[in-house]
Amino acid sequence: MKRALKKIMETTVAAGLLAVSPRRYRARQHFQRMDQDGDYREAYLMTMRARGYRAAKAGAAGAPWSNSSRSADGEILIDLPTMRNRSRELVRDDSLGSGIINTFAVNWVGAGMMAQANTGDPDKNNRLEAVWRDRRNTLSPADDLTHGESQRLIARKVLEDGEVLRKAVFSADEPVWFETIEADRLATPIGRTSDPRIRSGVERDDAGRPVAYWILDAPPNDVFLGGSPAGFKSTRFSAEFVRHLKFTDRPGQTRGVPMCHAILQDLRDLDLLLLASLKRTQIAACMAGFIRSDVAIEDMAEVTAQKYGYVLDQPIEPGMLFRLYPGENIETLIPNFPTPELGPFVIMIARRIGAALGVTWQVILKDFSQSTYSSARTDLLETRQTYRILQTWLIEKDLNWEWSTVMADARLRGDRRLADVLDDELGMVRWIPPGWQWVDPEKEAAAAEIELRIGTMTLRDLCAQKGTDWEEVQDQRLQEELREILKRQELGLPEKPQPEPTTKAISGNGRKPIELDADIFVERGGNHGREN
């Protein structure tokens, strides 16, 4: 009887806990099974010991080395959901984590990379670009994004989740468009887990090449599905129509890991440090104290503030005095954490984060207050190498494919502008990444002028550095010059004199004047501060 009553009570408690807090219910079920099921307990502990990434461990601070010798997938696939969720949490809730992703996305794609046809035939180039202009902002209708916005979305998801999929959608009624798919939907279908060719949703052939991707029809944890099985139904898509965008660090790696996986703990520690410092400051700004009494209290569970005699009948104000009972005194809470030492510690953690991401700590904190011209320029040049690698990766992995797919689809639909364009010419495109402002416009403009004059740089290269189209710049400049000539003739003004090449010496701060050519090539070569 007692056993049956106990069972009924446990069932009632479990049902109530499930209704109030499903998360606590699952945790309770887990620990009960750990106590009662030896096989389950051993399997769980073996899985925990198999963790390969520190970012996915609980209590990672001071954790011993894992000494793993497993394959890339053996280390990644178990830890990936945990790392991805923690990365999303930091990007969503942590100001520094969100700032890092935004900084990378802005410098990586900015407003969007611009396409420039590169067939060698100006007429064909103009027609190809006209087709692209008509289509580029309608390629992501599911998310209602322009092409620049879709590029930023891809960049953010690759940085935050470690991977994202871009799928071409064809239909007879409308031109081709592209769907951006989160990594959660790439999963092995139910009933195919024993198939050795399919691993984590990626199907490979005997040579190990991806031939298809199994994509869930809906996100697996979508709370708006209402119990629909759509989140568990997969569809197979040929690799010809899908691009799996991820960074590969090891041979045989099936899935990508978040870019911040090595710094998740650093970001978390820094967030906790700043939170603790904020709490200390808040406590220091308020009256915080404890009333200490020598009076014995037999039953602490029955004592309340009202029964003990401490109920304030008026709000606390500066300068107030309170009467204490005999045998009592007040002890104030004075935190001893040295706030002035917080700055160097934050910079130290920012250096660790920057080293892992390939950027400087000034970029991480957006703080250039301690930088000189030479150090700031060195930092930016070093950081831009990382951005250029990301830009080249996105162009070769996705953007060239999107351009070729759009052009082939347009020609199949009878676009007369592409009637005489050869198959090879459909994919001839050059992408112009976002440009960066010069650190010292006078010196760098003079350096660019010299390189144009001696032939080591072209107008196309210079405009690409600024994120502009050289043909548009040249056409606009010639139109302005022609208009100025005609306007001067109309007003009877003399012709505008041609500017002379820059040959003046430049004086730096506290430096003697030196020849321009030597100064420029000293700066461009990275030998900052050298005098001639």
For 321-333, what is the mean pLDDT? 67
Task: Tokens 């769907």: give the residue.
Answer: 179
Comparison of pLDDT for 41 and 383, the residue scoring more = 383
φ, ψ of residue 142 to 5 degrees: the values are -65, -35
DSSP letters spanning 450-485: HHHHHTSS-HHHHHHHHT--HHHHHHHHHHHHHHHH
Angle, helices 95-108 vs 373-394, to 10°: value is 70
Distance (Å, whole) CA 51 – CA 62: 15
pLDDT at position 67:
60
CB 430 within 8 A of CB 400: no
Q: Which two tokens stand for residue 29?
A: 């079920």
- pLDDT tens across 370-388, in order? 777 677 777 777 788 888 8
Which pLDDT band holds residue 353 (cuts at 50, 70, 90)? confident
Looking at residue 433, its pLDDT comes to 86
Sign of the dihedral defined by the CA atoms of residues 393, 181, 171, 135, in that order: negative
Most confident of 136-150, 268-282, 315-329, 455-469: 136-150
Q: How far is CA 30 from CA 34, 36, 47, 369, in A?
A: 6, 10, 14, 52
How much of the chain exceeds pLDDT 90, in percent? 24
* Phi, psi angle pair for 441, to nearest 5°: -55, -40
User: Taking 60 as the threshold, does the pLDDT of residue 475 lie above it?
Assistant: yes
* Confidence grade of residue 510 (pLDDT, cut at 50, 70, 90): very low
Q: What is the pLDDT of residue 409?
A: 94
What is the reported pLDDT for 336? 59
Q: Are strands 177-182 and 163-169 parallel, antiparallel or unpaired?
A: antiparallel
Q: In which element (H, E) is residue 344 found? A: helix 342-357
Grouping H, G, I as helix, E, B as strand and the rest as coil, residue 329 is strand
The 3-state DSSP class for residue 226 equals: coil
Instruction: Calculate the average pLDDT of the chain.
Output: 76
Containing 504, the helix (H) or strand (E) segment is none
Q: Are 149 and 112 in contact (CB under 8 A)?
A: yes
Task: For residue 175, give the nearest of 401, 398, 400, 407 by alpha carbon.
Answer: 407
What pLDDT is recorded for position 181? 94
Task: Rank 195-199, 282-286, 404-408, 525-529 by mean pLDDT and report only the highest.
Answer: 404-408
Mention every residue, 6+ apart, whose C-beta is less than 8 A from residue 121: 425
The label of the residue with tokens 């005999």 reads 326
pLDDT of 412-440, one tens digit each?
Answer: 999 999 989 998 999 999 998 887 666 66
Answer whether residue 444 shows pLDDT above 90: no
Range ranked top by mean pLDDT from 19-23, 157-161, 314-318, 455-459: 157-161
Q: What is the DSSP letter of 376?
A: H
Tokens of 466: 């600024």
Q: State both tokens at 120.
A: 């060698």
| pLDDT value of position 57 | 58
User: Would you call 332 exposed, middle or buried from its count of C-beta atoms within 10 A (0-12, 13-18, 19+)?
Assistant: exposed
Residue 314 is predicted with a pLDDT of 53
**Once rounded to an integer, what is the mean pLDDT over residues 503-529?**
41
Q: For the ranges 132-146, 306-320, 420-434, which has the lowest average pLDDT?
A: 306-320
Task: Among 77-91, 379-393, 455-469, name the one with the lowest average pLDDT.
Answer: 455-469
Burial class (CB in 10 A: 0-12, 13-18, 19+), 231: middle
Between the CA of residue 454 and those of 347, 430, 448, 458, 500, what are the distances in Å?
Answer: 43, 25, 10, 10, 16
Q: At residue 308, does pLDDT exceed 50?
A: yes
CB-neighbour burial class of residue 410 (10 A; exposed 0-12, middle 13-18, buried 19+):
buried
Higher per-residue confidence, 327 vs 141: 141
